[in-house]
Structure 1
């Protein structure tokens, strides 16, 4: 049996952040990070297309779902995006802001971010042990916590669970951390599902023919009665399975959540997000002798414009003054409020985040310590918090990891 003052289960973004700040807070303690993988940080390395979107220049509680906005706000305030930028600068990683507001390392290499975290943890004397999958976490009679697996056992007065959710389980975050939390009294949210995930459309949905075409779009979620529930705008990519791209990932958790409440919930697309139905209708009515196809192709990728005309049963040569009311309304509806028959999603295997987890009301937010098991701390994606695309989930990992580290 081994002993440590603090054992951190999970060596991803939140776990490494917690390790660094725990060691900075108390340099004399033995701190051990256990990770089941052979190499740390697989999720960091694949993030942002291998560039790692470290955070966003502007982060607010409204960028997140799951726990209450007020609770999330408290955690973010303790270690905001500015603090993240400052920390990485201190570690030799300069960040650059892109047009979208996302912050990436100037090297455009995720490895730069991972190396900085691991090197700092090791510099501070943290023991990082790989191939140490934890299968048991138990409370001992003396109130200490025993962490064990096939590799052996470590006993600590304090343990941080930073095992992630279920997204991209091949990186190690397969949801088992939740089982460890449950064994110590925690419960999980009733719903746990993929967030930031591409969507799969019905086989006969014609826009799937446009695989590879991308454009700005607005996607909106509607109840079965037609009530608009929420919307998101951004770049969209047609795929041979259905839809992907930033706006699809952002809207996916809202659509999947709505579907749980209402099996008839719908996803609708506006292919010209800056225009409403009435505006497009008015423009079509004022076209006169101009060809409708030319007008539409100036606003949309050619292949999409042609498909919309075909679906609206409008000849390619037809002019504005030849457009009857019924055909015009069909085209307006298909262009600004097309129903997208979604039949599924790509699942946890490719989702970038997890919706659901350990509810925040089971955690003391000033410390990230469990309210149900003293000495146990939780941070990162194991918690019921998921952010929109753009570095927000990493910021939650940095913020919650910081608090857990300095507190544990």
Structure 2
């Protein structure tokens, strides 16, 4: 459509621009920002009073995170989403937001926008085209149909509030807005534009940020030469367990695990990463003993069952027993580490060591691959500083939030997108409903 094509043209930022006015300015035109923009326009038109809406993004091309999600297919959501799929702010707060825009609502929105979704065995919902471009094009189309002007590249360098509303200082010139929706993302994939700038803008307006702020859904590094790196390319189900220094189980994640040349990746590792990083940083800050990670190569099997597995049948090489349950390379390496003989009965001490390696093998994590690789951010603006029915700031009236800039991050599988849709819907509809009363942002 001509409107969508025009929206893709970058705004010229090479010459000074006169100050412009917008009823609603949206900072960040990623998943949450485009979704919020669509709902600002829909809500306003439904009330018979169209608004001027501008969405700004620092990237030359929009939607980088959308296009790489799900291996380029974009897992739009998950068929079953609950507050327990998220971390960060409190579960009741997350549940309240998710309840206002459900998975069924997401499916209906995209169907109306021309994007049919399909459910796969993992529970993830993808576009039937298997192309993330389908999703991005639909979001841009719906935002522009709703009357949004997409301005990019246009980085917002400062955000100030006064009696008239907000003044945005941008690389495309100053903008005056009655209300602002901050959808700038966290710090993951900074090349996409989400480099933490939104956190700085929120802080400048009086908001706090949770500590620590760390990568989420990020691969973990093992020390150079670690034996697991020798198994690069091996994928299998495993359970990754986080424990306190005393061995108390804190949390665990089970799923596909990938051995790589640098360490570990795959869904189970990505899901546990934020928990390990947050716990590690907090322990370092407080001087508490460090937390630990361990891997269970036989998830779902109790320790006593694994021990019985190794006891029977007698006289059979332990490697041949393990090869029935694990890849050959892994089975052989674990036996070597445990000092298990290649033939004959398994001595008691070797069996004890092997059971330990199989069910609770210690992982010496050296670090993570950082925000440049991470799919999400753990930490941000706490939900306690936001009115959950409108996503409006309790600190700075007239400012709304949506998406990853908040202290909410989900596990892998489309959950972070569902958070973007739900929070974007609430922020967009609320900003539209309130934007006709400029005095509402002038109070303390």
TM-score, normalisation: structure 2: 0.90
CA distance in structure 2 between the aligned counterparts of 1:268 and 1:102, rounded to whole angstroms: 27
Unaligned runs of 5+ in 1: none
Counterpart among 386, 393, 397 of residue 370 in structure 1: 393
* CA-CA distance at 1:187 after TM superposition: 1.1
Residues 216 and 236 in structure 1, CA contact (< 8 A), matched pair in contact too = yes
The residue aligned with 2:178 is 157
Report SS of the residue matched to 2:114: coil
Q: What is the CA deviation profile of residues 355-391 of structure 1, one whole-angstrom value per residue up to 9, with x for unaligned ones?
A: 1000101110110001111111011000000001110
Q: Does the alignment pair 1:205 with 2:231?
A: no
* CA-CA distance at 1:263 after TM superposition: 4.4
* CA-CA distance at 1:215 after TM superposition: 0.3
Counterpart among 96, 100, 125 of residue 74 in structure 1: 96
The residue aligned with 1:298 is 324
Q: What is the CA deviation profile of residues 184-230 of structure 1, one whole-angstrom value per residue up to 9, with x for unaligned ones?
A: 11111121001111000112421110000010000100111111111
* CA-CA distance at 1:315 after TM superposition: 2.7
Q: What is the CA deviation profile of residues 40-90 of structure 1, one whole-angstrom value per residue up to 9, with x for unaligned ones?
A: 111100111111010000000011111110000000000011110110011
Worse-superposed segment, 212-221 or 269-278: 269-278
* CA-CA distance at 1:274 after TM superposition: 2.2
Aligned residues: 404
The residue aligned with 2:336 is 310
Residues 72 and 132 in structure 2, CA contact (< 8 A), matched pair in contact too = yes
Residues 223 and 258 in structure 1, CA contact (< 8 A), matched pair in contact too = no
Unaligned runs of 5+ in 2: 1-18, 432-444
Task: Output aligned runs, 1:3-402, within 5 Å.
Answer: 3-27=21-45, 28-140=50-162, 142-259=163-280, 260-261=282-283, 262-316=288-342, 318-319=343-344, 322-402=345-425
* CA-CA distance at 1:150 after TM superposition: 2.9
Report SS of the residue matched to 1:148: strand
RMSD of Structure 2 on Structure 1 (CA)? 1.0
CA distance in structure 2 between the aligned counterparts of 1:135 and 1:381, rounded to whole angstroms: 19
Worse-superposed segment, 232-241 or 178-187: 178-187
Residues 197 and 346 in structure 1, CA contact (< 8 A), matched pair in contact too = yes
CA distance in structure 2 between the aligned counterparts of 1:263 and 1:91, rounded to whole angstroms: 52
Worse-superposed segment, 286-295 or 61-70: 286-295
CA distance in structure 1 between the aligned counterparts of 2:71 and 2:341, rounded to whole angstroms: 41
The residue aligned with 2:441 is none
CA distance in structure 2 between the aligned counterparts of 1:150 and 1:256, rounded to whole angstroms: 35
Residues 224 and 265 in structure 1, CA contact (< 8 A), matched pair in contact too = yes
CA distance in structure 1 between the aligned counterparts of 2:346 and 2:279, rounded to whole angstroms: 37
Residues 40 and 146 in structure 2, CA contact (< 8 A), matched pair in contact too = no
